Amino acid sequence: MTIEQIIAQGVADAVKALYNADVDTAKIVPSATKKEFEGNLTVMVFPFLKASHKAPEATANEIGEWLVENVPAIDRFNAVKGFLNLSISPAFWRGVLADIAADDKFGFRKATGESPLVMVEYSSPNTNKPLHLGHVRNNLLGYSLSQILKANGNRVVKTNIVNDRGVHICKSMIAWQKWGNGETPESSGMKGDHLIGKYYVEFDKHYKAEIAALVEQGVPEEEAKEKSPLMRETREMLRKWEAGDKEVRALWAKMNRWVYDGFDVTYRRMGVDFDKIYYESDTYLEGKELVMKGLEKGIMYRKEDGSVWADLTAEGLDHKLLLRADGTSVYMTQDIGTAKLRYRDFPIDKMIYVVGNEQNYHFQVLSLLLDKLDFKWGKDLTHFSYGMVELPEGKMKSREGTVVDADDLMDEMVKQAAEASADRYADMSEEERAEISRIVGLGALKYFLLKVDPRKNMMFNPKESIDFNGNTGPFLQYTYARIRSLLRKAGEIGDFKDAVPCEKESSLIQRVADFPAVVREAGRQYSPALIANYCYDLAKMFNQFYHDCPILKEENAANRAMRLELSSVVARTLRRAASLLGIEMPERM
C-alpha cells in the first residue's frame, strides 16, 4: 500500500472507531501539506463533522490522536481548523526504501494471459516521401504510449499501416518515369525514401507549372487542376494499378521496396518498432468488400455517378464518400478493411489510433461505420489525437520539400549534443564520445517532444532541447550518469536498518514511491508527458538532496548506506521511467 492508501484506510478506521460511521476510503484523498505548515500529507476532516458532531479542529485532533496511537506510519500531527496535517515516521520511509530496493519490477505491472489486449497504431507513413518531424512526434508518442500501457499490465500489439497505394504514390512513380533517368538508391547514394521524396517534390513542381499555364490561357484554376495532363496520367496509373497492370505493379513494388528499406533505417535509429505491419494495398480490397456488404444492408447508398456514400446525418455528421465513381477507394475504405484484418488477426479488447488532431472528424466517422458494420470495439475505439509540431518558419509542406526530415533532424541533434559536451568527453575514446552523443542527442529530441501535453500544438526548438540544466533530456541523463559514477566510487552499499531519514531524504523516498501511481495515471490519461515531468521532478529533487546531504563523506555508516541506496533507487527509477519514453541512459557523461 502507498502512504496515501495507508492514511485513507487509517482515517476510515478512525472515523468508524470514534464515531461509529462508515467512510469510503476512495473519498479520502490525502494531499501534500502546504509548505507553511508542518507535516507531509494533509486530510480535510469536514466530511466527517456530521458523524463527529464537533467543531472541525476538535474532530481533526481526535482523528489525529487515534492515528498516532494506531497507525505506525504516522509519527505526529497538527490540526489547523479542519485540516489534519500528518507527519510520517522516518522509520516508515526507511522501510519504503528497503521495499523499493528489493523490488526489481518496481512501478510496473506484469501482463497475464487474461490481461486486456490493446492494439496501438502509429507511424502510418506514405511511401511517397521520407519520415519528417511530424512523423517523429507520432512515432515517439505511439511507442511511448505502448510502453506505458505495457507497464500497466496490458498486453500490447504495436501496429503500423503503411499507405502504399493511391494517387499520391502514383505521383512519385509518374515523376520518376518522366525525369528519373533510371536513378536508384545505389546509383545516387541516397536512402530510398529520400529518393522517392525527391520525385514527389518534382511532380508538384511540374504540376503547378501546368496549372499556371492553363490558368494563363483563361482556364479557371479548379478546372485547370482537373485538365492537367500530369494529373490525368496519374489517375490513369492508379486505375491501371487497381486493375493489376503488370508493368505498373512492378514499378510500384520496386519503388516501394526502396522506401521500406529507408524507413527501416530511420525506425531503428529512432528506437521504435512494430509487432505487425499492415499495407493499404492489402487492406483496401477488404474495405471495398465491406462497403459493398454495407450497401446491400442499406447502411450505405450509391449515387447516380456510381460512387458509394454513407449517410451519417442522423448522427450529427454529414455524407461520407467511401468509393469514388470510378470504383477506386478512399482512406476511409482502407481503414475499414484494416480494421477487419486486425480483428481477424487479434482478439482486440481496445484499439488506439495515434493520429494528429486534423483527423478528428475521420475517426468520428470511422467509429460510427465500424459500429454499423458490427465490429464490437468500433464504437469504443480511441483516437489518440495529438497536436501538430510547428516551426518558427511556419507549417511544413511535403509537396514543396519544406519539411524537417527525420534523418537530418536526428543528425543535427547528435551533432549539437557532441558540440555541447565536447569538454566533458575529453578523456573518452572517439567511439565512446560518438555513442554518448547519440544517446544524448536522441534523448534530447525524444524528451522535448514528449514532455508537452500530447494534445497541444508545440513549437520545436532543437537548441533548447540540448540544455544540460533545464527541463530537458540531457539534464535527466546527466543526473543518472552522476549517480552511476557515485555508486561506482562507493562500491558496496552496506546495511541501513539503523538509519534515520532526514526531511529531504524522506521527501525523496516519497517521490520515488509515487512512481507506480504516476505510471497508472499516465496510462489512464494516455500521457507520456506525465512520465517526462515526473522524471524532471525526481531529478531536480535528487540534485537538491545531493547538494545538501553528504553521501560518500557521511561519517555515520548506516546513514551513508541509506543515502547510497536512495541514490541507487533514484537512478533505477529514472532509467525505468525514461524507458517508457524510449530514452536511453548513459553510464557516463
**Three-class secondary structure of residue 113 per DSSP:** coil
Same-domain pairing of 272 and 365 = yes
> Domain tally for the chain?
3
Same-domain pairing of 170 and 205 = yes
Q: Which three cell numbers stand for residue 588?
A: 557516463
Q: Tell me, yes or no, whether 545 lies in a domain.
A: yes
Q: Tell me, yes or no, whether 103 lies in a domain.
A: no
Same-domain pairing of 235 and 353 = yes
Q: Tell me, yes or no, whether 396 lies in a domain.
A: no
Q: Tell me, yes or no, whether 288 lies in a domain.
A: yes
Q: Tell me, yes or no, whether 586 lies in a domain.
A: no
pLDDT per residue as tens, the chain (589 positions)? 789 999 999 999 999 999 999 999 999 999 989 989 999 899 999 999 999 999 999 999 999 999 999 999 999 999 999 999 999 999 999 999 999 999 999 999 999 999 999 999 999 999 998 999 999 999 999 999 999 999 999 999 999 999 999 889 999 999 999 999 999 999 999 999 999 999 999 999 999 999 999 999 999 999 999 899 999 999 999 989 989 999 999 999 999 999 999 999 999 999 999 999 999 999 988 999 999 999 999 999 999 999 999 999 999 999 999 998 888 888 899 999 999 999 999 999 999 999 999 999 999 999 999 999 988 888 889 999 999 887 666 444 444 445 789 999 999 999 999 988 777 777 888 899 999 999 999 999 999 999 999 999 998 877 788 887 889 999 999 999 999 999 999 999 999 999 989 989 999 999 999 999 999 999 999 999 999 999 999 999 999 999 999 999 999 999 999 999 999 999 999 999 999 999 999 999 8
CATH at 238? 3.40.50.620
Cβ neighbours around 320 below 10 Å, total: 19
**What is the helix (H) or strand (E) element at residue 580, kind and residue range?**
none
Which one of 390, 424, 443 terminates a domain?
390
Which of 514, 519, 518 is CA-nearest to residue 2?
A: 514
Same-domain pairing of 224 and 268 = yes
Same-domain pairing of 357 and 211 = yes
Q: Which three cell numbers stand for residue 17?
A: 472507531
Looking at residue 469, what is its pLDDT? 82
Domain containing 449 equals: 406-579
Q: Tell me, yes or no, whether 275 lies in a domain.
A: yes
Q: Tell me, yes or no, whether 101 lies in a domain.
A: no
Residue 284 in contact with residue 291, Cβ under 8 Å? no
Q: Which three cell numbers stand for residue 446?
A: 525524444
Q: Tell me, yes or no, whether 81 lies in a domain.
A: yes
- Helix 3-19 and helix 56-70, axial crossing angle in degrees, nearest 10: 110
Which one of 36, 67, 88 terminates a domain?
88
Which of 263, 253, 261 is CA-nearest to residue 132?
A: 263
Residue 351, beta-bridge partner list: 119
Residue 352 in contact with residue 120, Cβ under 8 Å? yes
∠ CA 290-291-293, nearest 5°, is 65
Residue 353 in contact with residue 370, Cβ under 8 Å? no
Same-domain pairing of 211 and 341 = yes
Residue 380, beta-bridge partner list: none
Mind spelling out the 3-state secondary structure of 79-91? EECCEEEEEECHH
Looking at residue 402, what is its pLDDT? 54
CATH at 449? 1.10.730.10
Same-domain pairing of 376 and 420 = no
Which one of 390, 419, 440 terminates a domain?
390
